[in-house]
Amino acid sequence: MTAVERRISQLEKLLEREKETNRDGRNDYKIGQTEFELSQLYRLSGVAEKSKQLLNDAYSILHDPNCKKGRKTDKLINLISYYINNPTAPPMLQLPSSIKYLGPLIMLGGYVAAYIAYFTGKLSYTYFLISLFGVFLVSLVATSFATTAYARGVGRGYGPSSSSTSGSSINDQQGEDRTPDDIIDDARAELALANLFYSTKNYKEMEMHLEKARMYLSDPASDRSGKKEQAAELLNKLENSAKGKEIQKGKAHVPLF
């Protein structure tokens, strides 16, 4: 089972629990958020109809009169509306909470243990400071490893028909049944993966997926797709971000729309 399939399975179970415990719209936002994340994963997996259905379901539940309104809800509605109206946009991929909060959890547990050891006399002040610094380093390394492993797993979960070599048409290598839109869809998926690696500050992996996207967009057959212009614009945004022109401190993803 790939990382994408595992994540989809986890979210499907979570969605089922959220719906079972939903009373008077208290879980509407969580349900909408889960359905949106699922829709993006299904979109990456190439299951367009399922992705579209989840987006419509999420849009409906967030407009339910019982759903608590607020800035978070409005922001999510706008995001869902964007993907409903722009079905060719690349999916927005998010890190699971278990990875997102891994670093803070390690730091919390490590700091508490170090404080207890220090105040009970098991650690000197010098070793106490060393322990705090060590816990901080471990949290950074663990988070970096986990996010990179997840992103690579997502990359393996998505697979265009096969890799191509420069200098020849992708259609020639992957079969004549591939349409220009198929090639652009492959480019969009690579852009989504590049965006995910950008969020983990893994610029080497990001550049690798950008290069794959360039390869698909440079194929002569892609010129016949009406979706190529938008994909090229998204590639340009990511390339500018990779050069540091649009990077903003604390931003999790490049603003692709």
pLDDT at 154: 65
Kindly state the DSSP code that residue 169 receives in the 8-state scheme: -
- Residue corresponding to tokens 């979210």: 11
What percent of the chain has a predicted confidence (pLDDT) above 90?
Answer: 24
The residue with tokens 């590639």 is 235
Q: Give pairs for 164-169: CB < 8 Å, separation 24+.
A: 164/215, 166/215, 169/219, 169/220, 169/221
Q: What is the pLDDT confidence band of residue 31, given thresholds at 50, 70 and 90?
A: very high
pLDDT mean across residues, the chain? 79
The two tokens of residue 98 are: 């278990």
Distance, CA of 119 to CA of 246 (rounded, Å): 46
Alpha carbon separation from 136 to 114, 116, 146, 158, 249 (Å, rounded): 12, 17, 16, 33, 20
d(CA 36, CA 71): 17
Mean pLDDT in residue range 104-116: 94
**pLDDT range class, residue 36, cuts 50, 70, 90:** very high
Maximum Cα–Cα distance across the chain: 73
Burial letters 214-244, b for 16+ CB under 10 A, else e: ebbbebebbeebebbebbeebbebbbebbee
Residue 195's pLDDT band (cuts 50, 70, 90): confident
Q: Distance between CA atoms of 31 and 34, rounded to whole angstroms?
A: 5
Write out the H or E segment, with its range, that includes residue 192: helix 180-199
Question: Which of residues 87 and 29 earns the better pLDDT score?
Answer: 29
C-alpha 225: how far from chain center: 25
Question: Within 10 Å of residue 132's Cβ, how many Cβ atoms?
Answer: 16
Q: What is the pLDDT of residue 167?
A: 42
Band (pLDDT 50/70/90 cuts) for residue 166 is: very low
Q: Which tokens in the block code for residue 172?
A: 């020639």
Higher per-residue pLDDT: 89 or 99 = 99
Enter the pTM of the model.
0.53
